[in-house]
Amino acid sequence: MLDLMTRHHPRHPPRPRHQGWSLVELMLAIGLGLLLLTVALHLVSGHVDEQRRLLLESRLTQDLRTAVELVSRDVRRAGYWADVSGGVWDAAHPAVALTANPYRGAVLNGPAAAPWLGYSYSRDLTEDGVNSNQEKFGLRLNTATQTLEWRLSGSAIAPDERDHWQALTDPALLRVTRLAIRLDETRQSLLGHCALTACNGQARCPPERIQRRVRVELDAQDARDSRIQRQLTTEARLRNDEVTGACPL
């Protein structure tokens, strides 16, 4: 009997097994989850920031290239004259005086740190031979607004503060921090095309052809993020060479 009671009622019955996580395991799991979430958010944030940077760089480059292309196209027209034949020497009529191109020349003016380029070309439907105020153009950097500006009209080829200027760039999108302009001139003697090849002290002899080339460098940064910066350079050869002087008589 005692053996049966002892067998059915043990003095130390087995403890039931616990199911679920302990508090320590739960805290470790939460900590690991937060760590993985932080890493994932960091990666997503870095990806979004990189995409934003690439978008700003693309917009800045596109806007800057558009401005440079407009400048290059306009500068190439400098010196255009519809009556250019009047300035060409005719061997059959050597005594006939040549007509000077009223739109000739290109000038650098303004402060050294931000030079201004001035030039002109004809916009007449019928050439009148008069270089009017609306036919004088140019380029400059407005350091106050950090915008690239194009001259719409002026009183002389050399630009002036009183001239009419229009912004080529939007200061809300980009800021031009530097403008460098270089004007190169190459003179070529045309004496070999004359009947007489010796000037003998004659004035305005020999005739020369002046070739001009303009180099423009632009530095700009994004208006919303100054870390986004770009530099573009364009070089344009003025298509309308200027001819000066005359053949010896």
Measured distance CA(2)–CA(12) in Å, rounded: 16
User: Any idea which of 42-46, 91-95, 150-154, 208-212 has the lowest mean pLDDT?
Assistant: 91-95
Residue 207 has pLDDT above 90, yes or no: no
Residue 226 has pLDDT above 90, yes or no: no
Say if residue 206 is preceded by a cis peptide, omega within 30 of 0: yes
Mean pLDDT value across the chain: 84
Q: Give backbone dihedrals phi and psi of 156, rounded to 5 degrees, phi first.
A: -150, 170
Spatial contact of 129 and 101, defined as CB atoms under 8 Å apart: no
Residue 68 has pLDDT above 80, yes or no: yes
Residue 5 has pLDDT above 60, yes or no: no
Distance separating the N- and C-terminal Cα atoms of the chain: 155
Q: What's the pLDDT band for 33 if we cut at 50, 70, 90?
A: confident
Residue 2 has pLDDT above 50, yes or no: no
User: Any idea which of 68-82, 85-99, 151-165 has the lowest mean pLDDT?
Assistant: 85-99
User: What would the two tokens of residue 249 be?
Assistant: 């008589």
Residue 202 has pLDDT above 70, yes or no: yes
Q: Which of 234, 3, 175, 195 is nearest to 92 (CA)?
A: 195
> Could you give the C-alpha distances from 171 to 35, 55, 104, 144, in angstroms and in order?
43, 18, 33, 11
Residue 16 has pLDDT above 70, yes or no: no
Measured distance CA(127)–CA(105) in Å, rounded: 18
Secondary structure class of 176 (helix, strand, coil): strand
User: What would the two tokens of residue 143 be?
Assistant: 């350091």
Residue 82 has pLDDT above 70, yes or no: yes
Measured distance CA(206)–CA(197) in Å, rounded: 9
Q: What's the pLDDT band for 93 if we cut at 50, 70, 90?
A: low
Q: Which residue has the tokens 């770009």?
A: 230
The percentage of residues in the chain with a pLDDT greater than 70, rounded to a whole number, is 86
Please give the pLDDT value at position 181.
Answer: 94
Measured distance CA(144)–CA(177) in Å, rounded: 10
Spatial contact of 79 and 238, defined as CB atoms under 8 Å apart: yes
What average pLDDT does this structure show over 58-85?
89
